[in-house]
Amino acid sequence: MSTQTTIRAVSRTPEFERDLKRLLKRYRTLEADLETFIAYELEMFHGQKLAVGGIERVQGLGFDQPPVYVAKKFACRALKGSGSQSGIRVVYAWLASQVKVELVEIYHKADQAIEDKSRIKRLYRERWSRH
């Protein structure tokens, strides 16, 4: 019996879209890099259940569902020579029942030290407390 699952859907919050638009001005390959990240890293981590270094669960949110992760290893081709240590961070929620990833936030660690926990709480605490 196989435990592999293919991610069925990827959605983006409006806040994520704003973050991405701002970063695209500096890192023009970011959109394509994001597609590669989803197709390979997230598919391996959630779809194939393989350990992928650099993806950690966000702690201290005050809720367990949906689990929210931050990817700290993200290859950005616009940052030549940095490989997966580009400094780009991607925050997303894993909606296992829908086999879906919801992109919440993207930032560069030089601009912002950690994920915006107030944004994450605002997006998920109320919506998921009703389930």
The answer to the question of residue 46 being in a domain is yes
pTM to 2 decimal places: 0.87
**Domain span at residue 31?**
9-129
Domain count, the chain: 1
Cis bond upstream, residue 66 (ω within 30): yes
Average pLDDT over residues 10-30: 95
* Higher local confidence (pLDDT), 28 or 3: 28
Residue 1 lies in a domain: no
pLDDT in tens, 29-84: 999 999 999 998 898 888 777 777 789 999 999 888 999 999 998 888 887 655 55
CA–CA separation, 124 and 122 (whole Å): 6
- Indicate whether 29 belongs to any domain: yes
For residues 64-77, one letter each, b for 16 or more C-beta atoms within 10 angstroms of the residue's C-beta and e for the rest, the string is: eebbbbbbbbbbbe
Residue 30 lies in a domain: yes
pLDDT value of position 1:
41
The CATH number of whichever domain residue 93 belongs to comes to 3.30.2310.20
Q: Do 46 and 101 form a contact (C-beta atoms < 8 A)? A: yes
Hey, what are 77's tokens?
Answer: 């081709």
Q: Tens digit of pLDDT for each residue in 112-125?
A: 989 999 999 999 87
